[in-house]
């Protein structure tokens, strides 16, 4: 691991972390889609898989611009988040409640990614790397949209399972 001696070094570390996080997600999303019972949630996971593949390609482009390899770092946070998602996949019970657990796991992932892309974008801005800023912002916008979509879907599913909520 490189010593953190400059914004450039830190940006490189952030890109490597995000790259590994996204590649882990490419493997996890099909499993989440398969475990979901709500058709909109299944479609959302499949759609985000395609977006995530695009995120990987953008990070490869960013690494190329920076003159570094995007590989070489394991994102331990994403590894843990994926493991939590796997726990939700293995749960048994009401399909709607399981879908809500999957959404919760997915939103934790989105929030991690939003934080990472926001940090990387801020570093790229400070380094006046306009093309890198644009690429990171595009992904940040997609992650934020995905998070909002998951929030909306969660509200819809909660509305459908209202009869499962015990009376207060």
Per domain, the residue ranges of the chain are: 7-160
Contact 65, 132 (CB under 8 A): yes
Contact 59, 15 (CB under 8 A): yes
pLDDT exceeds 90 at position 167: no
Q: How far apart, in Å, are the Cα atoms of 141 and each of 80, 85, 99?
A: 24, 23, 24
pLDDT tens, residue by residue, 43-97: 999 999 999 999 999 999 999 999 999 999 999 999 999 999 999 999 899 999 9
In CATH terms, is domain 7-160 a member of 1.20.1260.10?
Answer: yes
Compute the mean pLDDT over every residue in the chain, rounded to the nearest whole number: 94
pTM over 0.85: yes
């475990």: which residue's tokens?
35
Residue 84: per-residue pLDDT: 92
């009376």: which residue's tokens?
167
Segment 95-109 mean pLDDT: 95
Contact 44, 149 (CB under 8 A): yes
């Amino acid at each position: 691991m490189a010593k953190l001696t400059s914004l450039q070094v830190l940006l490189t570390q952030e890109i490597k972390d995000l790259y590994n996080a996204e590649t882990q997600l490419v493997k996890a999303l099909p499993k989440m889609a398969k475990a979901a019972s709500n058709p909109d949630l299944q479609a959302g996971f499949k759609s985000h898989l395609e977006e995530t593949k695009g995120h990987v390609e953008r990070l490869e482009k960013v690494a190329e611009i920076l003159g570094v390899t995007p590989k070489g770092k394991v994102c331990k946070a994403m590894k843990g988040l994926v493991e939590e998602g796997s726990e939700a996949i293995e749960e048994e019970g009401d399909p709607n409640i399981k879908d809500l657990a999957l959404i919760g796991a997915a939103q934790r992932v989105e929030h991690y990614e939003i934080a990472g892309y926001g940090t990387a974008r801020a570093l790229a801005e400070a380094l006046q790397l306009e093309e890198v800023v644009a690429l990171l912002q595009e992904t940040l916008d997609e992650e934020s949209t995905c998070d909002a979509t998951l929030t909306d879907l969660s509200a819809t599913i909660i509305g459908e399972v209202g009869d499962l909520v015990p009376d207060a």
